[in-house]
Amino acid sequence: MSKIDYTRVLPCLVTVANLLFGFLAIIFIIDSQVNLGAGMVLLSVLMDSMDGKIARKLKANSDFGKELDSLSDIVSFGLAPAVMIYVVVYQTHLPFWGLWLSAFFAICGALRLARFNVLNVSDYFIGVPITFAGGFMALLLLFAQTIPWQVFPVMMLLLSVLMISSLQVPKLGK
Amino acid sequence: MSKIDYTRVLPCLVTVANLLFGFLAIIFIIDSQVNLGAGMVLLSVLMDSMDGKIARKLKANSDFGKELDSLSDIVSFGLAPAVMIYVVVYQTHLPFWGLWLSAFFAICGALRLARFNVLNVSDYFIGVPITFAGGFMALLLLFAQTIPWQVFPVMMLLLSVLMISSLQVPKLGK
């Protein structure tokens, strides 16, 4: 057994927190607690913005951390928003097409993450990042009572396509 | 734009089907259709056993396909069984500890997948594969009415620990 390197463990713990909040988001939505569910995804956005910075500061970037980051991202920003918006919006207003739209969003998120890990472009993003797409949909969910429901399928389809597009998106806050 | 290579697309489509069935598993469980939910995870097991074989046969193995495979696996075999068993078993019998046990299962699954992608050992698995752990929990769920509920937390904890263990598991059916 190799000795545990705590500088490597800390950023991974933050990434695990990202995954945990994504899991809890789905559980809260099943329990009809919409705002708490959306809040969990927004907490995941916070974790996702911190783990990379902590890893760079501690010089603890690792392939393991990068893989774990993607696996957490697909749960928190791909699956959780897709399930949440299906349950809160589509189940009532758009049951058939909404189901496939939610599935499409999660699939585009996975394609985006797989491409990101393979391309290894570091100066800009290619396609809208899944963290932005998932975080934005969770934010919209907080206003589900006040905005027309049609906003959800339109924004979801738009963000799905933008995730797998070749659009170059500048990196902010590096 | 580069020309689409269809031999590379086919195995990825099977992997996307794995992700889709994982997403549908969670949706069916929210809709109280337990057997259909468990059946979706078992379909994901089938897809997961096929994509690698098809890729090897077509000589279309790719890093992109490998990344996409892990992202689908965490959804279908980590998150979906964790959410399903929380909803079907723990919500009634073990609400507090069951929640954390389900989260632990999903987290161990992610750690297992991240380690697998980094280690690149090809002769045997290190730790029980997440496909086996998630598939086994889905299979158990089909018998939820006939087996004591205590079997679920015990098996889930055992499989979680076995996933992140250093146990060498032989590869079958290569």
Interchain CB contact of B25 with A (< 8 Å): no
Q: Is B174's pLDDT higher than 60?
A: no
Find the closest chain B residue to A63 by CA distance.
B118
Mean pLDDT of B1-22: 86
A23 vs B63, B70, B79: nearest CB: B79
Interchain CB contact of B9 with A (< 8 Å): no
Mean pLDDT of A37-59: 94
Mean pLDDT of A14-29: 98
Q: What SS3 state is found at B150?
A: coil
Q: Which of B21-25, B100-104, B116-120 has the lowest mean pLDDT?
A: B116-120
Q: What angle do CA B76, A27, B156 make, to 5 degrees?
A: 55
Which regions of chain A does DSSP assign to beta strands (E)? 124-126, 168-170
Distance, CA of B140 to CA of B45 (rounded, Å): 14
B103–A23 CB contact, under 8 Å = yes
Determine whether B168 is exposed, middle or buried from the number of CB atoms within 10 Å of its CB (0-12, 13-18, 19+).
exposed
Interchain CB contact of B74 with A (< 8 Å): yes
Q: How confident is the model at residue A2 (pLDDT cuts 50, 70, 90)?
A: low
- Whether A43 and A89 have beta carbons less than 8 Å apart is answered as no
Q: How confident is the model at residue B173 (pLDDT cuts 50, 70, 90)?
A: low
Q: How confident is the model at residue A3 (pLDDT cuts 50, 70, 90)?
A: low
pLDDT given for residue A173 in this prediction: 57
Q: What SS3 state is found at A124?
A: strand
Q: Is A89's pLDDT higher than 90?
A: yes
- Domain B6-170 adopts which CATH fold? Four Helix Bundle (Hemerythrin (Met), subunit A) (1.20.120)
Which regions of A10-155 does DSSP assign to beta strands (E)? 124-126
pLDDT given for residue A8 in this prediction: 82
A63 vs B65, B103, B118: nearest CB: B118
pLDDT given for residue B7 in this prediction: 82
Query: What does the DSSP assignment read for A55-84?
Result: HHHTT---HHHHHHHHHHHIIIIIIHHHHH
Determine whether B145 is exposed, middle or buried from the number of CB atoms within 10 Å of its CB (0-12, 13-18, 19+).
exposed
B86 vs A27, A70, A113: nearest CB: A27
pLDDT digits (tens, 9 = 90+) for B111-154: 999 998 888 777 788 899 999 999 999 999 999 999 999 999 99
